[in-house]
Structure 1
Amino acid sequence: MTNAALFIARFLIGFLMIGGAVNKGLGPDGAGELLVAAGLPFWLVWPALAYNLLAGGALWVGIAVRPVAVTAAIYCAVTSFFHLQVFIAQDDPWQLTIFVKNWAIAGGCLALAVAGSGAWAWKPDHPHA
Protein backbone atom coordinates (compact mmCIF):
# COMPACT_ATOMS: atom_id res chain seq x y z
CA MET A 1 0.00 0.00 0.00
CA THR A 2 2.84 2.43 0.83
CA ASN A 3 4.53 2.06 -2.57
CA ALA A 4 1.23 2.57 -4.38
CA ALA A 5 0.42 5.67 -2.32
CA LEU A 6 3.85 7.17 -2.94
CA PHE A 7 3.59 6.43 -6.66
CA ILE A 8 0.18 8.11 -6.80
CA ALA A 9 1.48 11.10 -4.81
CA ARG A 10 4.42 11.47 -7.19
CA PHE A 11 2.13 11.15 -10.19
CA LEU A 12 -0.38 13.75 -8.94
CA ILE A 13 2.20 16.33 -7.92
CA GLY A 14 4.14 15.67 -11.12
CA PHE A 15 0.93 16.06 -13.12
CA LEU A 16 0.39 19.47 -11.55
CA MET A 17 3.96 20.53 -12.37
CA ILE A 18 3.78 19.32 -15.98
CA GLY A 19 0.35 20.92 -16.34
CA GLY A 20 1.94 24.19 -15.22
CA ALA A 21 4.61 23.82 -17.89
CA VAL A 22 2.02 23.17 -20.59
CA ASN A 23 -0.06 26.12 -19.40
CA LYS A 24 2.96 28.43 -19.50
CA GLY A 25 3.94 27.15 -22.93
CA LEU A 26 0.50 27.56 -24.49
CA GLY A 27 -0.30 30.87 -22.81
CA PRO A 28 2.61 32.50 -21.05
CA ASP A 29 0.80 35.80 -20.50
CA GLY A 30 -0.96 34.75 -17.28
CA ALA A 31 2.21 33.76 -15.44
CA GLY A 32 4.15 36.57 -17.10
CA GLU A 33 1.68 39.17 -15.86
CA LEU A 34 2.06 37.87 -12.30
CA LEU A 35 5.84 38.21 -12.61
CA VAL A 36 5.66 41.71 -14.08
CA ALA A 37 3.20 42.82 -11.37
CA ALA A 38 5.80 41.73 -8.81
CA GLY A 39 8.48 43.79 -10.57
CA LEU A 40 10.18 40.81 -12.20
CA PRO A 41 10.92 40.34 -15.90
CA PHE A 42 8.42 38.50 -18.10
CA TRP A 43 11.15 36.20 -19.47
CA LEU A 44 11.27 34.36 -16.12
CA VAL A 45 8.23 32.45 -17.41
CA TRP A 46 10.59 30.31 -19.50
CA PRO A 47 12.88 29.08 -16.69
CA ALA A 48 9.73 28.43 -14.63
CA LEU A 49 8.32 26.36 -17.52
CA ALA A 50 11.57 24.38 -17.73
CA TYR A 51 11.60 23.78 -13.97
CA ASN A 52 7.95 22.64 -14.01
CA LEU A 53 8.65 20.22 -16.84
CA LEU A 54 11.84 18.77 -15.36
CA ALA A 55 10.52 18.51 -11.80
CA GLY A 56 7.26 16.94 -12.92
CA GLY A 57 9.08 14.46 -15.12
CA ALA A 58 11.50 13.52 -12.34
CA LEU A 59 8.60 12.88 -9.96
CA TRP A 60 6.76 10.81 -12.56
CA VAL A 61 9.65 8.48 -13.25
CA GLY A 62 11.08 8.54 -9.75
CA ILE A 63 14.49 10.16 -10.08
CA ALA A 64 15.94 12.30 -7.26
CA VAL A 65 12.50 12.45 -5.64
CA ARG A 66 13.61 13.86 -2.29
CA PRO A 67 15.58 16.86 -3.60
CA VAL A 68 13.04 17.52 -6.34
CA ALA A 69 10.21 17.45 -3.79
CA VAL A 70 12.06 19.94 -1.58
CA THR A 71 12.63 22.32 -4.51
CA ALA A 72 8.98 21.88 -5.56
CA ALA A 73 7.87 22.83 -2.05
CA ILE A 74 10.00 25.97 -2.22
CA TYR A 75 8.72 26.75 -5.72
CA CYS A 76 5.09 26.41 -4.59
CA ALA A 77 5.70 28.57 -1.52
CA VAL A 78 7.43 31.32 -3.50
CA THR A 79 4.90 31.37 -6.34
CA SER A 80 2.04 31.53 -3.85
CA PHE A 81 3.05 35.10 -3.01
CA PHE A 82 2.38 36.23 -6.59
CA HIS A 83 -1.22 35.13 -6.11
CA LEU A 84 -1.44 36.79 -2.69
CA GLN A 85 -0.21 40.04 -4.22
CA VAL A 86 -2.94 39.91 -6.90
CA PHE A 87 -5.56 39.05 -4.26
CA ILE A 88 -4.59 42.09 -2.20
CA ALA A 89 -4.40 44.43 -5.22
CA GLN A 90 -7.57 43.28 -6.97
CA ASP A 91 -9.63 41.67 -4.19
CA ASP A 92 -9.90 38.51 -6.33
CA PRO A 93 -10.98 35.62 -4.06
CA TRP A 94 -9.79 33.03 -6.58
CA GLN A 95 -6.21 34.26 -6.11
CA LEU A 96 -6.49 33.64 -2.37
CA THR A 97 -7.65 30.10 -3.13
CA ILE A 98 -4.60 29.56 -5.33
CA PHE A 99 -2.36 31.01 -2.60
CA VAL A 100 -3.69 28.48 -0.06
CA LYS A 101 -3.60 25.64 -2.61
CA ASN A 102 0.08 26.30 -3.28
CA TRP A 103 0.85 26.00 0.44
CA ALA A 104 -1.09 22.73 0.61
CA ILE A 105 0.91 21.40 -2.35
CA ALA A 106 4.14 22.57 -0.67
CA GLY A 107 3.11 20.50 2.37
CA GLY A 108 2.51 17.47 0.18
CA CYS A 109 5.91 17.97 -1.43
CA LEU A 110 7.58 18.10 1.98
CA ALA A 111 5.82 14.88 3.01
CA LEU A 112 7.04 13.28 -0.22
CA ALA A 113 10.56 14.57 0.51
CA VAL A 114 10.46 12.80 3.87
CA ALA A 115 8.88 9.59 2.57
CA GLY A 116 10.97 9.35 -0.58
CA SER A 117 10.07 7.73 -3.87
CA GLY A 118 8.88 4.35 -2.68
CA ALA A 119 9.94 1.20 -4.48
CA TRP A 120 8.06 1.97 -7.71
CA ALA A 121 10.65 4.37 -9.08
CA TRP A 122 13.36 4.31 -11.68
CA LYS A 123 15.90 5.16 -8.96
CA PRO A 124 14.23 4.42 -5.62
CA ASP A 125 15.39 6.46 -2.64
CA HIS A 126 17.01 4.64 0.20
CA PRO A 127 14.51 4.28 3.07
CA HIS A 128 15.49 6.87 5.79
CA ALA A 129 18.09 8.66 3.63
Structure 2
Amino acid sequence: MTPAWGDLATLVGRILLAALFLGGAAQKAIDPSAVEALLAIRGLPTALVWPALAFNLLAGLALVLGVAVRTVALALAGYCAVTSLFHWIPGDPWQMSIFVKNWAIAGGCLILAAHGAGRYALRP
Protein backbone atom coordinates (compact mmCIF):
# COMPACT_ATOMS: atom_id res chain seq x y z
CA MET A 1 0.00 0.00 0.00
CA THR A 2 1.34 3.41 -0.98
CA PRO A 3 1.52 5.90 1.91
CA ALA A 4 -0.55 9.08 1.62
CA TRP A 5 2.53 11.07 0.58
CA GLY A 6 3.65 8.45 -1.97
CA ASP A 7 2.13 10.08 -5.04
CA LEU A 8 3.59 13.46 -4.11
CA ALA A 9 7.00 11.85 -3.53
CA THR A 10 6.75 10.16 -6.93
CA LEU A 11 5.96 13.49 -8.60
CA VAL A 12 8.90 15.22 -6.88
CA GLY A 13 11.16 12.29 -7.77
CA ARG A 14 10.07 12.47 -11.42
CA ILE A 15 10.78 16.20 -11.51
CA LEU A 16 14.20 15.81 -9.88
CA LEU A 17 15.21 13.07 -12.31
CA ALA A 18 13.83 15.11 -15.20
CA ALA A 19 15.85 18.14 -14.10
CA LEU A 20 19.02 16.15 -14.60
CA PHE A 21 18.10 15.18 -18.17
CA LEU A 22 16.68 18.60 -19.06
CA GLY A 23 19.85 20.19 -17.72
CA GLY A 24 21.88 17.76 -19.81
CA ALA A 25 19.92 18.78 -22.89
CA ALA A 26 20.53 22.45 -22.16
CA GLN A 27 24.22 21.82 -21.57
CA LYS A 28 24.52 19.96 -24.88
CA ALA A 29 22.71 22.78 -26.69
CA ILE A 30 24.78 25.57 -25.14
CA ASP A 31 28.19 23.89 -25.39
CA PRO A 32 28.21 20.55 -27.20
CA SER A 33 32.03 20.41 -27.24
CA ALA A 34 32.36 18.47 -23.95
CA VAL A 35 30.11 15.66 -25.18
CA GLU A 36 31.70 15.77 -28.61
CA ALA A 37 35.11 15.27 -26.97
CA LEU A 38 33.88 12.22 -25.05
CA LEU A 39 32.41 10.80 -28.26
CA ALA A 40 35.60 11.47 -30.21
CA ILE A 41 37.76 9.77 -27.56
CA ARG A 42 35.67 6.62 -28.08
CA GLY A 43 35.89 6.90 -31.86
CA LEU A 44 32.20 7.73 -32.26
CA PRO A 45 30.73 10.41 -34.53
CA THR A 46 30.50 13.72 -32.72
CA ALA A 47 27.13 14.34 -34.38
CA LEU A 48 25.64 11.86 -31.88
CA VAL A 49 25.45 14.78 -29.46
CA TRP A 50 22.28 15.96 -31.25
CA PRO A 51 20.19 12.77 -30.91
CA ALA A 52 21.40 12.57 -27.29
CA LEU A 53 20.19 16.15 -26.75
CA ALA A 54 16.80 15.33 -28.27
CA PHE A 55 16.46 12.18 -26.17
CA ASN A 56 17.39 14.03 -22.97
CA LEU A 57 14.91 16.81 -23.74
CA LEU A 58 11.97 14.58 -24.71
CA ALA A 59 12.55 12.07 -21.91
CA GLY A 60 12.87 14.85 -19.34
CA LEU A 61 9.63 16.45 -20.49
CA ALA A 62 7.86 13.08 -20.44
CA LEU A 63 8.93 12.55 -16.82
CA VAL A 64 7.75 16.01 -15.75
CA LEU A 65 4.40 15.60 -17.49
CA GLY A 66 3.93 11.96 -16.51
CA VAL A 67 3.60 10.61 -20.04
CA ALA A 68 4.75 7.04 -20.83
CA VAL A 69 6.75 7.13 -17.60
CA ARG A 70 7.40 3.39 -17.32
CA THR A 71 8.77 3.16 -20.86
CA VAL A 72 10.71 6.41 -20.66
CA ALA A 73 12.23 5.53 -17.28
CA LEU A 74 13.32 2.13 -18.59
CA ALA A 75 14.92 3.77 -21.64
CA LEU A 76 16.64 6.31 -19.38
CA ALA A 77 18.02 3.52 -17.19
CA GLY A 78 19.58 1.96 -20.29
CA TYR A 79 20.86 5.34 -21.43
CA CYS A 80 22.53 5.93 -18.07
CA ALA A 81 24.12 2.49 -18.14
CA VAL A 82 25.54 3.04 -21.63
CA THR A 83 26.69 6.60 -21.04
CA SER A 84 28.37 5.61 -17.79
CA LEU A 85 30.98 3.83 -19.92
CA PHE A 86 32.18 7.19 -21.23
CA HIS A 87 33.15 8.04 -17.67
CA TRP A 88 35.00 4.81 -16.89
CA ILE A 89 38.40 6.42 -16.41
CA PRO A 90 39.85 4.72 -13.29
CA GLY A 91 42.71 7.22 -12.98
CA ASP A 92 40.30 10.17 -12.74
CA PRO A 93 38.31 10.25 -9.47
CA TRP A 94 35.90 12.88 -10.85
CA GLN A 95 35.00 10.72 -13.86
CA MET A 96 34.63 7.66 -11.64
CA SER A 97 32.21 9.61 -9.45
CA ILE A 98 30.13 10.40 -12.54
CA PHE A 99 30.32 6.72 -13.54
CA VAL A 100 28.85 5.66 -10.18
CA LYS A 101 26.24 8.43 -10.22
CA ASN A 102 25.04 7.25 -13.64
CA TRP A 103 24.40 3.80 -12.17
CA ALA A 104 22.60 5.31 -9.19
CA ILE A 105 20.40 7.35 -11.54
CA ALA A 106 19.74 4.19 -13.57
CA GLY A 107 18.57 2.57 -10.33
CA GLY A 108 16.17 5.43 -9.64
CA CYS A 109 14.84 5.16 -13.18
CA LEU A 110 14.31 1.40 -12.75
CA ILE A 111 12.28 2.03 -9.59
CA LEU A 112 10.21 4.60 -11.49
CA ALA A 113 9.76 2.14 -14.36
CA ALA A 114 8.52 -0.50 -11.92
CA HIS A 115 6.12 1.76 -10.02
CA GLY A 116 4.91 4.16 -12.71
CA ALA A 117 4.04 7.84 -12.72
CA GLY A 118 1.80 7.93 -9.67
CA ARG A 119 -1.44 9.88 -9.44
CA TYR A 120 -0.07 13.27 -10.47
CA ALA A 121 0.53 12.74 -14.17
CA LEU A 122 -1.14 13.42 -17.47
CA ARG A 123 -1.31 9.66 -17.91
CA PRO A 124 -1.07 8.01 -14.47
Mark the runs of 5 or more structure 2 residues left unpaired by the alignment.
Answer: none
- Give the equivalent residue in structure 1 for 2:83: 79
Task: Give the drift of 1:39.
Answer: 1.0
TM-score (norm 2): 0.95
- 5 Å matches for 1:12-51? 12-51=16-55
Aligned equivalent of 1:127? none
Report SS of the residue matched to 2:67. coil
Distance 1:14 1:44 in 2: 21
Q: Does residue 95 in structure 1 map to residue 99 in structure 2?
A: no
TM-fit CA distance, 1:100: 0.1
Identity %: 55
Deviation at 1:92, TM superposition (A): 1.5
The count of residues paired between Structure 1 and Structure 2 equals 120
- Once the two structures are superposed, residues 7-43 of structure 1 have per-residue CA deviations (whole angstroms, 9 ceiling, x without a partner) of 0110011000000000000110111111111110000
What is the aligned partner in structure 2 of residue 112 from structure 1? 112
In structure 2, distance between residues paired with 1:17 and 1:50: 10
Shift >2 Å, 4+ stretches: none
Quote the Cα distance in structure 2 between the aligned partners of 1:69 and 1:23.
21
Unmatched 5+ stretches in structure 1: 125-129
Per the alignment, residue 56 of structure 2 pairs with 52
Q: CA RMSD in A?
A: 0.6
Residues in 1 aligned to 2:116 and 2:6: alpha-carbon distance in whole angstroms: 11
Q: Partners in 2 of 1:92 and 1:25 — Cα distance?
A: 26
Letter in 1 for 2:8: A
Q: 1 CA distance for matches of 2:66 and 2:95? A: 31
**DSSP-derived class of the 1:80 partner:** helix
